[in-house]
Each structure stands twice: as C-alpha cells, then as structure tokens.
A and B are shown apart, each in its own frame.
Chain A
Amino acid sequence: MDIKILGSGCKKCNALEEATREALVELGMPVELDHVTDLAAIAAYGVMSTPALVIDNKVVSYGKVLKTSEAKKFIEAAL
C-alpha cells in the first residue's frame, strides 16, 4: 500500500502524518509513508486545501486533520 501525506509542512500537516502513523501501528501494518511537500506535486493531485491523505494514488481526504480512527477507516477501506 502506498500512503502519502500532502502538506506544506504546516502544523496541521504534521498532525495528519502523526494520526496516520498511529493508525498504521494500530492496524499492525508497516509504518511506511511519504510526506509530499512540493506544492506543484500537491496541486497535481487536485488538492488545494492541505493537508491531504493519498492512498494508492487516490485522494481520500483533504483540507482536514483526520483523527486516528478516521485514518484507520480509510486505510482499511483500501486494503
């Protein structure tokens, strides 16, 4: 599974990365994720409000810091 956080390095973006990490730990999955900070690359996903969560090249959430439980749901749905 390919998981990416899109964010400009802001506080909210780091909060989303943290929540996603925790979700992966709770699911017993390898904690592997990329944090994309290149703004042009972020825009290429169609995202205009950061932070966003991308799973297998699909934007599943944007403009929002997900809670761990929410991140978990998105990861489980993509399994």
Chain B
Amino acid sequence: MVWDFIQNQVLAMKWLNALIGQGLTSAGLDIATRLGGSLQFFLYDVIKITILLCFLIFLISFIQSYFPPERSKKIMGRFDGIGANTMAALLGTVTPFCSCSSIPLFIGFTSAGLPLGVTFSFLISSPMVDIGSLILLMSFFGAKVAIVYVVVGLIIAVVGGTLIEKLHWEDQVEDFIRNAQAVDIDAPELTRRDRLSYAFEQMSSTFKKVFPYILVGVGIGALIHNWIPEAWVQTVLGSKNPFGVVLATLIGVPMYADIFGTIPVAEALLGKGAQLGTILSFMMAVTTLSLPSIIMLRKAVKLKLLVVFVAICTVGIMLVGYAFNAFQFLFM
C-alpha cells in the first residue's frame, strides 16, 4: 500500500501526468488526439526526468565524494580472487568515472598491482550500473525490474572480469601503462559542506551536459508513443522476432547516450509491445559501451584484449536480454 504510493506517485510521478493532462485540456487541446497525446508525453517525461536527474545526480555525487578512484583502488587491493572482482564491481557503482580519465585510472590500478580482471570488472560495472540507473528504472519499470537489472549487471561485471583474468593477457596492456609508476596519494579532507557543494556542481554540470540528450530522447519517445504503429515495433522488437535482442544490442553498442536520454525511448518502445529483455539489452548496450569509450580504451589496451572486452560485454548483455524475455511474465 505504502510502496504502491511511492512507486506510482513519488517515483513514477503519476500526479504530474494528470496535472499536465488537465493543463493541456483546459488550454483547449484534446489529449486523446495524437498531437495532444504526444505533447502530454513530451512535457511529462521531460519534467519527470529533469526532476529525477537533478535529485539523483545530487545524491549520487554526494555518495561518490566518499569514493574517489584513488581510494577505491586501495580498498580493492585488500581483496583477492573473485572477492576482488566483486568489490571492483560494487565500487564501480559508486566511484565517479568518465571515459576521459580511463587511462590514468588504468595506470593507477595496474601499478597498484591490481589484477587485470579486477580492473575490467570495474570498467564494466562503472558505466552500466549505478544508484541512478536503479532509481530511474524503478520509476519507469518498477522495483523488481530495477533490482534484477542491477544484480545482473554486477554479475556480468564479475564474470566478465574473471574471464579476462583467466586469459592472463597482461602483455595486452600497452607498455607505457605497464611501465608507469604511480604512488598512493591521500584523499583530501572534505567537510560535509565541501561534499554538498561538489554534489551541487556535479548536478548543474551534468544537467547542462545531458539536457539536450533528454530532449532528443523524449522527442523520439513521443514519436514512437503516438505515431509509430504498434505492429512495426512488435515485429522488430517483440516476441515475433527471435533476434530482437541481438538487433537491439548491436544498435546500442556504438551509440553514445546517457541513461537519462535512453529511458524515454525504452519506455515508449515497451508500451508499443517491445519485449522487456530486448529493451533492457538496448539500454545496457547504450550505457556500457560506446564508440568514444572504446576508442579511449584502445589507447590503454591492445586490439586483441579490446575485442575480447567488447565481445564479453556484448554477449553478456544479449544473454541478459534473452533471460529477461524468457521470464518477462514474472515482471509485468
């Protein structure tokens, strides 16, 4: 009962949709028409995602201020074997990371003696799973889907890292990285005020960076929602197409977009009869891998390892898609 209220009104903001509907109706627009419906979808999603984005980035950044990579590195160093991979996957969810600093990060981890597989567990989990995606998915698809998505994402990170470890391809890391020396530095002392102001700055800079993607994402979502025939979506991404997951993943891999921009497209496709697993594969592929991040990583590792890394992620994401599709009846 209480959870239903949280789910529908706090996370999914159904009241907002009703409010916008009323507003549009009193402005003389019929929201039952395509145009009115598109407009309602667009306004509702843009406002909802903006509120969630600001709230989530603020919260995440505050938590992240406790886990700079310099500190996460030290924590991971205390674990061995699969424990280290698991720790890396978990820390990947709370450590701030952007692909532009993947090389210093790689050097830092490697020179601290962290096994290659542990570094990769971190690299897989970091973009794929975070508290933001957890709450965002709860808002759009419900708590069950969100929790399973996060757990499965962590499993891919741990298994993927462990597989890479088993290859013993340390020579596949570029020489300048293996030869680099790095030292431990202490995290600067931060007061709560420092952390709050850091969180606020992150929130405003992320908002500025991501807002155009949200507009594009919601725009596409609104188009799909009201203009694309259901039969098309069902044929390509629904249960009729056994390769929907493969297709969604392959389209998603090179794409660079934020989860905030991806989710309205996913939501609209789901509403049109696309399968849940197919949609989640698409989202995972978009957020985990992208052409810019792959190019950046190529500077740190040689081609063979890069290909294996991309392959492991891609196959893992497809497996998740098929598993979700097979058990979709449990979630919807």
Instruction: Give a binary string over B88-109; 1 marks a CB under 8 Å from any A CB, 0 the rest.
Output: 0000000010001101110111
Interface string of B160-186 (1 = CB under 8 A from A): 000000000000000011011111110
B69-118 interface with A by 8 A CB criterion: 69-70, 73, 96, 100-101, 103-105, 107-109, 111
The dominant DSSP class at the B interface is helix
Tell me whether B111 and A43 are in contact (CB under 8 A).
yes
Assuming A40-B176, A48-B104, is B68 touching A62 (CB within 8 A)?
Answer: yes
Would A48 and B176 be within 8 Å (CB), given that A40-B107, A43-B107 are in contact? no
Query: Would you call A47 and B181 a contact (CB within 8 A)?
Result: no
Contact for B177 among A40, A48, A60, CB less than 8 A: A40
Consensus secondary structure, chain A interface: loop
Q: Which of A40, A42, A43 has the most CB of B within 10 A?
A: A43
Q: Does B28 contact A (CB under 8 A)?
A: no
CB distance from B99 to the nearest CB of A (A): 11
For chain B, give the interface size range. 20 to 34
B107 touches A39 (CB 8 A): yes
A59: chain B residues within 8 A (beta carbon): 185
Whether A44 contacts B181 by the Cβ 8 Å rule is yes
Contacts of B68 in A (CB 8 A): 48-49, 62-63
Q: Complex: how many Å from CA A76 to CA B108?
A: 29
What CA separation (Å) do A78 and B107 show in the bound complex?
A: 28
* A residues less than 8 Å from B198 (CB atoms): 64
Tell me the minimal C-beta distance from A60 to chain B in angstroms: 8
Interface centre among A45, A48, A49, A65 (most CB of B within 10 A): A48
Contact partner of A48 (CB less than 8 A), chosen from B105, B188, B201, is B105
Contact yes or no, B185 A49, CB < 8 A: no
Nearest CB in chain B to that of A8: its residue: B100
Cα separation A46 to B68 with both chains bound (whole Å): 12
Interfacial residues of chain A within 35-73, with CB under 8 A of chain B in the complex = 39-40, 42-50, 59-65
Q: Closest CB-CB distance, A67 to chain B, in whole Å?
A: 9
A42 to B70 CA separation, bound complex (whole angstroms): 13
Counting contact residues on chain A (CB < 8 A from B), the size range is 20 to 34
Provide the residues of chain A in CB contact with B101, threshold 8 Å: 8, 48-50
Check A48–B69 contact: CB distance below 8 A.
yes
Q: When the two chains form their complex, are residues B96 and A46 in contact, meaning their CB atoms are under 8 A apart? A: no
Interface string of B46-72 (1 = CB under 8 A from A): 000000000000000000000011100
Residue of A nearest to B73 (CB): A48
Give complex CA distance A17, B104 in Å: 19
- Evaluate whether A45 and B100 lie within 8 angstroms (CB atoms) in the complex, with A39-B107, A40-B107 already known: no
Chain A neighbourhood of B104, CB < 8 A: 8, 39, 42-43, 47-50
**Of A10, A45, A61, the contact of B183 (CB 8 Å cutoff):** A45
A50 to B73, CA, bound (A): 16
Question: Which residues on A sit within 8 Å (CB–CB) of B180?
Answer: 40, 43-44
Q: How far is the CB of B306 from chain A (nearest CB, A)?
A: 17
Instruction: Tell me the complex Cα distance, A65–B185, Å.
Output: 18
Most buried by B among A10, A39, A44: A39
Contact A46–B108 (Cβ < 8 Å): yes
Contact partner of B70 (CB less than 8 A), chosen from A39, A62, A65, is A62
Inter-subunit contact B185/A46 (CB<8 Å): yes
B198, closest chain A residue (CB): A64
A-B contact pairs, 16 of them (CB 8 A): A8-B101, A10-B100, A40-B176, A40-B177, A43-B108, A43-B111, A44-B180, A44-B183, A45-B185, A48-B70, A48-B73, A49-B69, A50-B104, A60-B188, A62-B70, A63-B69
**A interface, CB within 8 angstroms of B:** 8, 10, 39-40, 42-50, 59-65
Q: A-contacting residues of B (Cβ < 8 Å)?
A: 68-70, 73, 96, 100-101, 103-105, 107-109, 111, 176-177, 179-185, 188, 198, 201
Q: Which 3 A-B pairs have CB atoms at the shortest separation, nearest pair first?
A: A43-B107, A46-B185, A48-B108
